[in-house]
Amino acid sequence: NMSPTRLCVPGDKLCSVEDCIMGTGVYLRHGYIYSSLAGYVLRKNEGEELPVISVVRETEVQLLPDVGAIVTCKVGWKPGRRGPLTDLFRGTISFVQVEMHRSFRPGDIVLAKVISLGDVQSNYLLTTAENELGVVVAHSDAAQMVPISWCEMQCPQTHTKEFRKVARVQPEYLEA
């Protein structure tokens, strides 16, 4: 996962030409590398001796999820389709092993993994077929529901149970 580091503006001195190789969005002057765009500084090690330094604007492609990336998404409202999700970008859960209405409801927050980037027509293809993937947050009509097993969640106020494919979240990520 790439988290962009610091903001920079045109004319910011980033580093010396001896520390990094120039990527995009930068220029060279008197032995130093300066930013030529307003955006985020990105340092990537690409197998060469020195890392490549570039400046990207927030809408750049580098920040799109790749195959194998785990994304957090919200289930959208499109009945009759294969449970499309919206991330920042739209995706579709492939539900070969899973029954839609017993796994997700619209409005759920789900951890999914990207299995295909899709092409021009289709969206990202996502899967929740692992233990750590699935619903993380779900709301009933009253309140936020609590997981009681890998396939059920319960509302603490009305005590109604609903079927969900629950993600097994690592203990350190759970709030105290």
Partner 1 sequence: MAGLELLSDQGYRLDGRKATELRKVQARMGVFAQADGSAYLEQGNTKALAVVYGPHEIRGSRSRALHDRAVINCQYSMATFSTAERKRRPHGDRKSTEMSLHLKQTFEAAVLTELYPRSQIDIYVKILQSDGGNYSVCVNAATLAVIDAGIPMRDYVCACTVGFVDETSLADLCYAEESGGVSSLALALLPRGGQIALVQMDARLHQDHLDTLIEAAMTACKGVSKVLDQVVRQHLQEASTLQE
Q: Which of 122, 163, 135, 23 is nearest to 74 (CA)?
A: 135
> Mask of contacts with partner 1, 63-92, x by CB under 8 A?
-------------------------x----
Stretch in the footprint of partner 1 (CB under 8 A) among 37-45, 125-133, 158-166, 168-176: 37-45
39 touches partner 1 by CB under 8 A: yes
Q: How many residues contact partner 1, by CB under 8 A?
A: 17
- String of DSSP letters for the chain: ------EE-TT-EEEETTT-EE-SSEEEETTEEEE-SSEEEEEE--SSSS-EEEEE-TT-GGGS--TT-EEEEEE---TTSS-EEESSSEEEE--SS--GGGT--TT-EEEEEEEE---SSS-EEEE--STT-EEEE-B-SSSB-EE-SSSEEE-TTT--EEE--B----GGGS--
> Mask of contacts with partner 1, 87-126, x by CB under 8 A?
-x--------------------------------------
147 touches partner 1 by CB under 8 A: no
27 touches partner 1 by CB under 8 A: yes
Q: Minimum CB separation from partner 1 for residue 43, in Å?
A: 18
57 touches partner 1 by CB under 8 A: yes
Q: Which residues form the interface with partner 1 (CB under 8 A)? A: 7, 9-13, 25, 27, 29, 34, 36-39, 57-58, 88
